[in-house]
Every structure is written in structure tokens, then in C-alpha cells.
Structure 1
Amino acid sequence: MKFSQSIFLPIAAIALTLSSASFADNNQRRIDIDSKVVTEHKAKINNQRFSYTVATGTQPVWDDKGDAIATLQYTYYTRDKVDDRAKRPLLISFNGGPGSASVWMHLAYTGPRVLKIDDEGYPIQPYGVKDNPYSVLDIADIVYVNPVNTGYSRVVEDKDGKLLSKAEQKEQFFGVKADIKYLAEWLNTFVNRNERWRSPKFLIGESYGTTRVSGLAHELQNSQWMYINGVVLVSPTDIGIKRDGPIKAANRLPYFAATAWYHKALNANLQAKDLDELLPEVEQFTINELIPALAKGGFIADDEKRRIIKKMAQYAGLSETFVEQNNLDIPTQFFWKELLRDRGQMVGRLDSRYLGIDKRDAGESPDYWAELTSWLHSFTPAINHYLREELNYKTDIKYNLFGNVHPWDRSGNNTGENLRLAMAQNPYLKVMIQSGYYDGATNYFDAKYTLWQLDPSGKMQDRLSFKGYRSGHMMYLRHADLESSNTDLREFIKAALPKEGQAAKY
């Protein structure tokens, strides 16, 4: 359903400016530190018709002295006419980068309005948005949060008109630990303001956002005393769980096989198999034969090496010569260039279904990322149109799909271990991973490996799950996977809600 006529409240009428010095000069381009615009809409989602309210605004980040040092822009969706908000889940959504705005899942996955794209995820003009009948808004309220320097979120001036220095900004915002710490504080304020302390809470993050939410699950429980029911990792990073050496090299092969199968680059026997039949075969070879072979390095026996090279070449759609020349360790950028070199095409990084053309067919890596340029076609105009014209949030600040957050401090990344500890501390907490088979940046078999290593004891297996999809990093861009991934998310949320009277105990 098209959204109904909205009730627009001007920003100036409801903005609460915490630092008047920051906005004394109206001729300068700045974002309000504390603001909110509320609009009302209608939708048909999961075969239910209902109204919902959207609050679009900014909320401060405070330092230890209680002064605003930044403001984060958010978009908060609540279903109307809910009898008991305390029983209704709150889904807190982050994207990654680091430095990426929370636009991707907002306008393409879980939100009630999504991009106008074709069924495979390619842009269509005129750009814009349409209804998402699969959104999880039917069962959960959702808030999309933009960290500092993404979306409209910015560092702000103090009462003397000064910004934090670059070094101070990095210390406060731009690193694994700093990011988690200030976002946990910000979420505490958000939950307070919106009276959601009693609601079941879920974190969902994509790509680097999985590092963020893995760390937040622990930080919220141990520093904010806010306990989470579920964490969803979409196209996860390693979350601090090491997978180097033979593991790193071998884990790429199932992704190579999926991509080669999609582009019909396998031999006839393998190509005739369905992907669901092919991938388990390749995974078993990877675990039982390829990893042990790579562990032997240059001391592997000649006959074993020839056998492994032949199998790898068959599964990856590459020549045996190419595999041998790379010592059985094929870098992903080489693969993206090599797989369809004879066709004069290269494949995408984040989604290898996408094709591009380079200046030269020769070379070791693509000239550009075909999938990302395709996505930016539609996401950029869509989010600017949607926020301004449908949600009535108007500002001259540029919406940063990708913001300046570098150099990012990646030291001390123990987020995977912290997620395990959060699960151990909280018997309610469940974790689900969602991955696309054609994602070459955070490949699906790495994600499976991370899931297996998350809890070495195996005592929490029943609270860990994996879902795979026939698309890439943003698996929801393919229409069939938009439906199935939301269905999986909806079922995960329901399953993570304790039964009436069920205590949090072992």
C-alpha cells in the first residue's frame, strides 16, 4: 500500500537544541543536535494491514561531562495500536563499513519501504521506493542507527564553538572498542526516551556491523545492564575469530564453486547439479581434504598435490595451471578477474552475480566493483528522496552513504569471544547468521566456520543457526531472498521470545 497522507511536524517546532552555540549562525550548514519529525503511514505486510508511525531525528552523544560531542541520526518505526508495547520486540539495526550508513538494510531488507529495483537487484529508473510486503515491522518495531559521520550523523561543536581534534575524534568514535562503547551509551538514552526497557531487544548488523553488534551484545549487558534476546549477523566479518593460513585459503573454495556454478563455468557433470547438492560436496572436500593438504605446504606429496589441484580446478571453474601457479592458494581478486577472462568479463566482489568490463582483459584484479556501482545507482537517490519527501526530514547536510571514519583502530577485536560470553551469561540470547552464497567479501563458508568456532564447547549449539541464500553480500536485493530472509528473521525473533513464565536460567 502507498503510505497515507503524513502528519508532518516541522523540525524547528520540536527540535531540542542542546548546544545553542552550535547553531547560532543559521547561514552555516549544520544538523540539529536534538530533533524529531513524526509522520504516520499505512502498510500491508505479511498479509496484515496496519498503520505505523515513523520518528526521524537526531539524538546527542554526550561525553563524561554531559556535554554533546556528536549527534546520531536515526529512523524509528513503531506499529500503531499495540496493546502491550512491553511485549513487542525492538530490532536495533546497524550497517557496517566501518563508515557505512544504515541505509542498506533500511531501504532494502527489513523496512516497510524498499528500493525500486528488478527481481535480481539491478537499478531501475525512475529511482525511488516501493512497499515491502515482507518487512518484519508486523512483529517488531525497528530503529536504524547511523554512527558518527554516516548518514546525517556528525561530530558537533562544543559551547565555545570548537570541535574535537582529529585525535580526540578517533579516540571517541573511530575504532572497534570506541564504536561499541559510545553506541551502547547512546542506545541506553534511546531506550530511556522511548520507554522500551521492558521490550525484548534484538541487534542486527551487516558486514562490519556484525563486529559492532557482537560487541554491543556484551557491552549492553555488562555496562548498561541491558539484556538482549537475539543477535543477527548478516554477511559477517571474522568478529575477531582467527581464520588464517590454510583455513583462510581453503575456505574460499565453496564460494568459488557457487560463483562458477552461477555463471555456468563448471564442467557438465558439476553444472548439472543443483547448488544445494553441489555446495555440501565442495564443503566436505574443503574440510576433509583441502585444509589438510594446504597444511602440508611445500612438503605435500606430488601425487596428492596433483589430485587436489585437479579437484580444486574443477570446483572453481579454473584451469589446473592457474591453481598450480597460485600454490593452491587463490586470492579472491585473482578469481574475480580470472573466472570469466575468456568471455571478456569480470565478476563482482560483494555479489559475484554482477558483471563488469575492464580496460584490459589481462591483469590480476578488476578495475572497479561492478556490484557496488550498481547499488549506488539506486540507493543514493532513494534514501535522499525517502527521508526528505516521505519522512519530511529536511536538511542541507549531505547524507553520507560512506563517511570519513579512517584510520579505524582495529586493535583489541574480541567481539566474537564477547558475544560467546554474552550468550553464556544470558540463557535467553540466541544468534543467527545470514549469508549469500555469492558474497566474495565475507564469504558464506567463512561465516559457517565462525559459527562453528564461536562456542568451542558445543554447549550452545541449539542457540546458534545459519541461513544461506542465492545472492551476495546484501542477499535481500534478490526478490526471492528478500522474502525468505525476512521470513527467517521473523521466525528467529519469534523463537527467541521466551515462553510465558520461562525464567532466564540453565
Structure 2
Amino acid sequence: MLLRSLTLTIALTLSLAAAPAFSEERPGVLKLLPQDAVTEHEATIGGRKLDYTATAGTLDLFGQDGNQTGAIFYTAYTAKNAGANRPLTFAFNGGPGAASAFLHLGLVGPRILDFGPQARDGAHAKLTDNPESWLDFTDLVLIDPIGTGWSRTAKADDAKDYYSVGSDAQSIAKAISLYVAHNNRAASPKYLLGESYGGFRAAKVAGALQESQGIIVAGAIMLSPLLEAQLMFNADEFALGAALELPSLAAAEMDRRGAFSAEKQTEAERFALGDYLTTLVGPEPSGDAAKAFYAKVSGLTGIPEDVVTRSRGFLGNAFAKNSGKEKGEVMSPYDAGFASPDPYPESDYDRGDDAILDGFTRAYGGAFSDYARNELGFKTEMTYSLLDNDVNRQWEWGGRGGGSRLQASVTGDIRQLLASNPSFHLLIAHGYSDLVTPYGVSRYVVDHLPQSLAKDRVQLDVYRGGHMFYTNADQRAAFTADAKAFYAKNGGIQPSD
């Protein structure tokens, strides 16, 4: 669906020379990073005209010897004449290895990438104005972790020092602290917004800010977050993981048929944690009981009954190649309702690139690079790294709060944040048909938080679509409205705004 039109006036406060002004004082590849670019803008956001300042720049990191070790790229949007106590939200994506352009141009920024009427055309995507930018109710700072975007270490070999749960959280916390200090924002209520691994990161960063920087956040918004890896990554081996995943498969099947129903979705959730779970936990069913069970699961998910039977009802690895096999289609785990032509129809395994992650959403990278250069005045010859798989492969899940990938968890972090900070509030948002981080896992985590901590402070909202449901204009608008209400409810929007 096409976005509504928006009036945007840009007045550059910099001299945009043809060649970028590099900083020769910086070591190594950091020489390619220009000075911070500051531009002034006027836009119609949230139904009103808003004057704001955009800053595209870097925050420098230093070692104990006083030498610069790296630089973190960020983009900040601040409303003019709004006061020093306006909410301030720091946003980052996940991966690990993803830059913030997804959230930036997909959800919260004043400019947004439109993928066309079907929300999937990356080749003809157009940057347009975002009338529902979160700048309506909070200032924004979009952060790219080391190894993503234009964030780099001075020495290439040093980058791996940032590729772990603990060091990543500490570096982001340091960047946030530097921004707050440089811009005199200590009085602002501070929020964190993280997508996917970024949701996991938000919990870790909140803890690091509190412990090492003396900054206590007012709340966090976790979008399609990783919360409990053991309930996600073993869904084809363990009954509880499979049961928490099943509602997402049911939602995807209804979407593919154009028959989504909240009532039917609730029925699928009850079945998943009822007969489905108890059957998977027990011995393999047989006879008429087995036939009835597998037929029920097949009807809910659209996966052929023989495939359901062969897998004993564990479907995480079966949905991609079987949900649309008769049409020669393959489904994406990022949205199990999203069908695309199967590049390897002769194979029983999903061998091709993902049509969402490796397809149209890659356009965010080129679009942001062009936007930063031509509208924000940040000109560099460095390549903007949207999604670096090498970062993901090198990631160390061990160390403080990490453990192995299968043991990754932030449930304990969430409990500690709620317990130690009575002002902390949490909003978790998911897409119904997301198989990468199924909403059922987050619901399980939320349902098992002590009510003494979670009551009126933790909410879970679910929207139509998948991992990046915000690429759909209707769902993006609904989520933005809910986010605005979340800030207002928690004292994050001042009357003068």
C-alpha cells in the first residue's frame, strides 16, 4: 500500500562539496569518515508540522592507551524547541551483523523506503516521506554497531573484539553515554528500540548502561526479539518449541488463503498448547488417533498430511518447501505466509537465498547510502554494510550473559531490569507469521514473568505479517500508534509535544 504524501523541506547547513572532507587525523580506515553532517528540516509528521535537526556522524571509541580504536556511526533526529526532557530513543537492529537502516528507513525515520503496492519490489523501491515517523513523539538516535553500516575499528583485526554479547553491549552503551554527554540530554527519558537480535541486545545494553555508565533507561521496545534461544532453535526436536511455533504456521496458512481470523488464530493457539503439545510429548500416535491428529495439523498449516505424518508433527523444517509445493513456491521463515518462486523445485531442501532477507529488503542498504549522502550531507567512500554475514559467523555467544547460541537468553535480564528499576516498562511486538522469532516464544516468556514485576509494565502486541511486518503500511501504522500510546502511558511524552 502506498504511503500518504508528506511535505518535506530540507535546508542544508553544510557546504556539500563534490568530494567528502575526510579526517586525516583518524587512524586506518577511519580516515574515510567525514566530519559530522548537520542539516535542518521541516516535515509534516503525526498530522502537524515539525522542525527538526538531523545529524549524521560518528562517536569515537578509545583504548586504555588513549589511542582511537574505532568509530560508531549514528544518525540523530531531534525536534526543535521541544525541551531537554523530550524522550530520546536509541535504536539498533540485530543480526548480529545488521545495520540500523532496516528500522531507520522501514519504521521510525522521517524518510521511508516504499516497496510498492505489494510491499516486496526492491528493484523499484522509492524513498518517500514518512508521516508516521516516531519523531512525532520521541527524538531518535539510530546506531550501527561495529562491523555494520559505517562503524569500523581502526585496525581490521580488532573488529572481532566487538563481536560478542558482552563487548557489543558495552560498546553500544558507551556510544549512548557519549551521545547523551555531547548533547546535554541527561534529563531526557531514555528508551531503547531493538529488532530481532537487537531486542536481545536492548536488554543487555540496558543492563550495561545501568552498571557501567550510570544511565537508567525508562523503557525498551523489542521488535521480533530473540528472548529464549532454546525455545526457538530446537523447535524440530522438542515439543514445547514446536508448540510455540505452530500458531505462526497457522497464521501464515490463513494469510496465504486470505482468510485470517483472530478467532481462528486463538483456536490454533489453544490447540498448540493443548492436544498438539501433549501428543508430541507422548509416544508416537497410531491408528485412527494418529490419522485424525495429523489431518488436523495439516489443515491448520497447509502442509501435506503425508509430510506432517513423516515428521511426526514437527514442522519447522518442513514448511518452507511444502506449504506451496503444488504451485512451485517456497516460503520464507521471515514470513511463512510470503511465497516466492522456488529456484530449486527438484530439491527437497530449501537451498536458495531467502526472498525477504536476501531479496527486496537488501534495498535498504543502497537507499540509505544515497539518502545519507544527498539529503543528510554525510559523504564517504566507505561501503555501507547493511548485513554482514561474517560478523554473524564470528559472533561469540559466550562470556558475560551469553553462553552458547542455544543457551542465549535475556529472560533473567528482563527480570532484573524490572526488579531494579521501577520505572522500566517493556513493549514486545511480533508478526503473527514470523518463524525466525515466533511470537509464541515471547508470549511464553511474558506469561511466566512474576506478576509482581510484569503487571501493567510489560505488554505484548502481535500484528499481521512476519519478522519485518512494518514493510506493510497498515501494520506499520498500527504499531506506531501502539508505540506512541506506550510512551504516553509511561510518561514519555510531555504535554508541550
Query: Same fold judged by TM-score > 0.5?
Result: yes
Correspondence for 2:261? 275
Q: Where in structure 2 are the equivalents of 1:459-478 lying within 5 Å?
A: 459-478=453-472
**Structure 1 residue 352 corresponds to structure 2 residue 336:** yes
Counterpart Cα distance in 2 of 1:356 and 1:373: 12
State whether residues 373 and 379 of structure 2, in contact with CA within 8 Å, keep that contact through their aligned partners in structure 1.
Answer: yes
Is the CA contact 1:344–1:361 (under 8 Å) kept in the aligned structure 2?
A: no
Q: Distance in 2 between matches of 1:103 and 1:329?
A: 35
Runs of 4 or more consecutive aligned structure 1 residues displaced over 6 Å after TM superposition: 11-16
Q: Give the superposition deviation at 1:355.
A: 2.3
Give CA-to-partner distance per residue, 1:216-243, whole Å, 9 cap, x none: 1122112222111111110111355756
Distance in 2 separating the partners of 1:130 and 1:467: 27
Q: What letter is aligned with 1:463?
A: R
1:337 aligned to 2:321? yes
Q: Secondary structure at the match of 2:268?
A: helix
Residue 225 of structure 2 contacts residue 437 of structure 2 at CA under 8 Å; is this kept in 1? yes
> For each residue in 1:383-416, what CA deviation from the matched residue of structure 2 results, as whole angstroms up to 9, or x when unmatched?
1211111111100000001133231011224533
| Amino acid corresponding to residue 338 of structure 1 in structure 2 | N
The letter of the residue matching 2:459 is S
Partner of residue 285 from structure 1, selected from 266, 271, 281: 271
Q: Tell me, yes or no, if the aligned pair for 1:37 and 1:57 is still in contact at 8 Å.
A: yes
| SS class of match (1:216) | helix
Counterpart in 1 of 2:204? 215
Contact 1:29 1:396 (8 Å CA) reproduced: no
Q: 1:356 to 1:64 in 2, by over 3 A?
A: same
Separation in 2, partners of 1:493, 1:119 = 31
Residue in structure 1 matched with residue 405 of structure 2 by the alignment: none
SS at match of 1:467: strand
Change in 2 beyond 3 A, CA 1:441/1:21: closer
Alpha carbons of 1:318 and 1:414: their partners in 2 closer, same or farther (altered >3 Å)? closer
- The whole-number CA distance in structure 1 between the counterparts of 2:457 and 2:278 is 30
Flag the 1:387–1:422 CA change in 2: closer, same or farther, 3 A. Answer: same
**Deviating more after overlay: 490-499 vs 71-80:** 490-499
Range that drifts further, 392-401 or 300-309:
300-309
Distance 1:48 1:201 in 2: 24
Is 1:401 the counterpart of 2:400? The answer is no
Give, in angstroms, the shift of residue 173 of structure 1. 0.4
Kept in 1, the 8 Å contact 2:304–2:323? The answer is no
Equivalent AA in structure 1 for residue 179 of structure 2: F
2:254 aligned with 1:249, yes or no? no
| Structure 2 counterpart of 1:492 | 486
Alignment match, 1:150:
148
2-structure distance, mates of 1:429, 1:104? 26
Q: Does 1:137 align with 2:131?
A: no
Counterpart position of 2:14: 9
Instruction: State the one-letter code of the partner of 1:409.
Output: E
Q: Indicate the residue corresponding to 2:372 in structure 1.
A: 387
Q: What secondary structure does 2:90 align onto?
A: strand
Q: 2:440 aligns with which of 437, 445, 450?
A: 445
Please give the per-residue CA displacement for 1:158-185, whole angstroms capped at 9, x wherever unaligned.
xxxxx263xx543x30011111112112
Against the structure 1 CA distance between its residues 340 and 417, is the aligned structure 2 distance closer, same or farther, given a 3 Å change threshold? same
Shift of 1:372: 2.4
Aligned length: 473
RMSD: 2.6
Q: Match of 2:3?
A: none
Deviation at 1:361, TM superposition (A): 4.5
- Residue type at the aligned position of 1:360: P
The residue number in structure 2 matching 1:234 is 223
Q: Which moved more, 1:242-251 or 1:92-101?
A: 242-251
Change (3 A) 1:262 1:14: closer
The answer as to whether partners of 2:50 and 2:79 remain within 8 angstroms in 1 is yes
Q: 1:430 to 1:383 in 2, by over 3 A?
A: same
**Which one-letter code corresponds to 2:360 in the other structure?**
W
Change (3 A) 1:498 1:203: closer
Amino acid corresponding to residue 207 of structure 1 in structure 2: S
Cα offset, 1:125, TM superposition: 5.6
Q: Counterpart amino acid of 2:431?
A: G
Alignment of 1:165-176 (within 5 A): 165=157, 168-170=158-160, 172-176=161-165
Deviation digits for residues 104-150 of structure 1, max 9, x if unmatched? 01001011110122244222665431111111101110000000110
Could you tell me whether the CA contact under 8 Å between 2:92 and 2:195 is conserved in 1? yes
Amino acid at match of 2:107: Y
Inter-partner Cα distance in structure 1 for 2:303 and 2:36:
54
Distance 2:61 2:377 in 1: 23
Structure 2: state its 5+ residue gaps. Answer: 1-5, 403-407
Asked whether the equivalents of residues 46 and 135 of structure 1 are also in contact (C-alpha less than 8 Å), the reply is: yes
Q: Deviations over 1:179-237 (max 9, x none)?
A: 11121122111111111111001101001101110111122112222111111110111
Residue in structure 2 matched with residue 417 of structure 1 by the alignment: 412
Q: Distance in 2 between matches of 1:462 and 1:498?
A: 15
Matches within 5 A, 1:256-335: 256-264=249-257, 274-298=260-284, 304-332=289-317, 334-335=318-319
Q: Which moved more, 1:143-152 or 1:58-67?
A: 58-67
User: Quick one: distance in 2 between partners of 1:36 and 1:313?
Assistant: 56
Change (3 A) 1:353 1:169: same
Q: CA deviation at 1:289?
A: 1.9
Distance change >3 Å, CA 395–CA 498, structure 1 → 2: closer
Q: Is the 8 A contact 2:203 2:410 kept in 1?
A: yes
Q: Within 5 Å, give how 1:26-175 maps onto structure 2.
A: 30-32=31-33, 35-82=35-82, 84-86=83-85, 88-123=86-121, 126-156=124-154, 163=155, 165=157, 168-170=158-160, 172-175=161-164
Distance 1:488 1:499 in 2: 13
Q: Is the 8 A contact 1:180 1:215 kept in 2?
A: yes
Query: What amino acid does structure 2 have at the position aligned with 1:434?
Result: A
Q: State whether residues 337 and 364 of structure 1, in contact with CA within 8 Å, keep that contact through their aligned partners in structure 2.
A: yes
Distance 1:499 1:199 in 2: 10
TM-score calculated relative to the size of structure 2: 0.89
Please name the residue that 1:503 is paired with.
none
Q: Secondary structure at the match of 1:188?
A: helix
2:313 partner letter: L
Structure 2 vs 1, CA of residues 11 and 149 (structure 1 numbering), >3 Å: closer, same or farther? farther
Say whether the 8 Å CA contact 1:90–1:140 is kept in structure 2.
yes
- Contact preservation (8 Å) 2:123, 2:360: no
Q: Distance in 2 between matches of 1:116 and 1:432?
A: 26
